[in-house]
């Protein structure tokens, strides 16, 4: 027994390798997600729960926000019940790959890197990424080159900032990754980091709530949110795209947008683009 013990750590490695080899679940094997959703009468939507004003849980425990309304409306149009699944920046892609969710309405920027793992709908939200800094310390994005900055783990801003900085001859940036947005902002307040990059809409909300924080002008990255979908499932992707385009055409999209980001909302962001609508 004593001798055999030495091999057990090795067994773990082998077992994990086998599990890893299973990844990802055979895509498109058999049924389309469309058929599964329609047969079950339930669509499972991955939504973030700490991303106001796009998706968050309010004081009475209701899950609300722009992404939430959009997901609900898509389910309603499909004529199925919605099951909302809590995801974050790190689980939204793996849950899609493994079929734990059918779509991810998670303020997810459409990037080529992510497109290797999942597919995306047409763009449904337009914005820019920039940095939030402490008032009066920095004036431009160039001032932050080489400084220690906070970014969200798994965010597209990580690559964008490296690229932005390298293209303009800046030194390699020092990046601290946070999985918790609130923790990142706290680090910025405390002086642990010099800036925090996020999508403009989130930063606007942050700056509105704290006079000591301001947005830097400019953009390190364009933000184009797409709904995350299982890879290689064109029937389901078509369904979602057509549904989004119908929502855009009949004005439902605009109503939802204005409710959360319109002139009367707590955070105002002018609509930054136009959805492509296929004839």
Partner 1 sequence: MTRATLDFLWSVLPSLLIGFPGGRPGGLALTLILSLAAIGLGFVIALGVGPGRAAGPWPVRAACALYVEFFRGLPLLLLLFVVHVILGGRRLGLDLSPRASALIALTLYASAYQAEILRAGLAVVPDQLVESARLVGGRAWQIYLHVRLSYAVQVMLPAFAGQAITLFKDSAVLVALGVGELMTVTRSALGSDVRNAAYWLPTYLLVGGLYALVAFAISRLAGRLERRQRSGDLLYSLTNY
Q: What are the residues binding partner 1 (CB under 8 A)?
A: 1, 4-5, 8-9, 11-12, 15-16, 19, 22-23, 25-26, 49-52, 56-61, 85-88, 90-91, 94-95, 98-100, 180-183, 185-186, 189, 202, 205-206, 209-210
Pick 178 or 248: Cβ nearer partner 1? 178
For residue 244, the surrounding DSSP H or E stretch is helix 234-249
Which of 110, 132, 149, 144 is closest to 241 using CA atoms? 110
Helices within 44-154 (DSSP H only): 66-78, 92-97, 112-115
Least distance in Å: CB of 277 to partner 1? 33
Least distance in Å: CB of 160 to partner 1? 21
Least distance in Å: CB of 94 to partner 1? 6
Angle between helices 252-261 and 66-78 (to 10 degrees): 160
Question: What would the DSSP string read from start to end of 151-171?
Answer: EETT-THHHHHHHHHHHTTPP
Pick 3 or 278: Cβ nearer partner 1? 3
Least distance in Å: CB of 178 to partner 1? 11
Rounded CA separation 133/246 (Å): 39
Least distance in Å: CB of 89 to partner 1? 11
Pick 46 or 173: Cβ nearer partner 1? 46
**Cα 30 from chain centroid?**
28
Rounded CA separation 27/97 (Å): 8
Pick 89 or 119: Cβ nearer partner 1? 89
Q: Take residue 29 and report the two structure tokens written for it.
A: 């094997």
Pick 99 or 272: Cβ nearer partner 1? 99
């Amino acid at each position: 027994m004593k001798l055999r013990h030495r091999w057990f750590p090795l067994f773990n490695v082998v077992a994990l390798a086998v599990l890893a080899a299973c990844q990802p679940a055979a895509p498109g094997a058999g049924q389309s997600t469309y058929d599964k959703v329609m047969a079950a009468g339930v669509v499972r939507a991955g939504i973030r729960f700490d991303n106001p004003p796009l998706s968050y849980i309010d004081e009475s425990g209701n899950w609300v926000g722009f992404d939430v309304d959009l997901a609900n409306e898509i389910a309603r149009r499909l004529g199925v019940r919605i099951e909302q699944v809590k995801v974050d920046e790190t689980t939204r892609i793996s849950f899609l790959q493994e079929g734990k969710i059918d779509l991810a309405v998670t303020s997810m920027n459409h990037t080529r890197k992510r497109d290797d793992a999942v597919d995306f709908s047409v763009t449904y939200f337009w914005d820019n990424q920039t940095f939030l800094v402490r008032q009066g310390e920095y004036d431009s994005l160039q001032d932050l080159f080489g400084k220690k900055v906070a970014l969200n783990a798994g965010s597209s801003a990580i690559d964008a900032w490296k690229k932005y900085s390298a293209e303009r001859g800046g030194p390699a940036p020092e990046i601290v990754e946070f999985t918790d947005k609130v923790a990142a902002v706290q680090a910025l307040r405390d002086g642990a980091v010099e800036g925090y990059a996020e999508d403009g809409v989130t930063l606007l909300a942050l700056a509105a709530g704290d006079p000591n924080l301001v947005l830097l002008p400019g953009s390190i990255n364009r933000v184009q949110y797409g709904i995350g979908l299982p890879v290689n499932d064109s029937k389901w992707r078509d369904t979602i795209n057509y549904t989004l385009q119908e929502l855009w055409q009949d004005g439902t999209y605009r109503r939802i947008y204005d409710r959360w980001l319109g002139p009367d909302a707590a955070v105002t962001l002018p609509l930054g683009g136009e959805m492509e609508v296929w004839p």
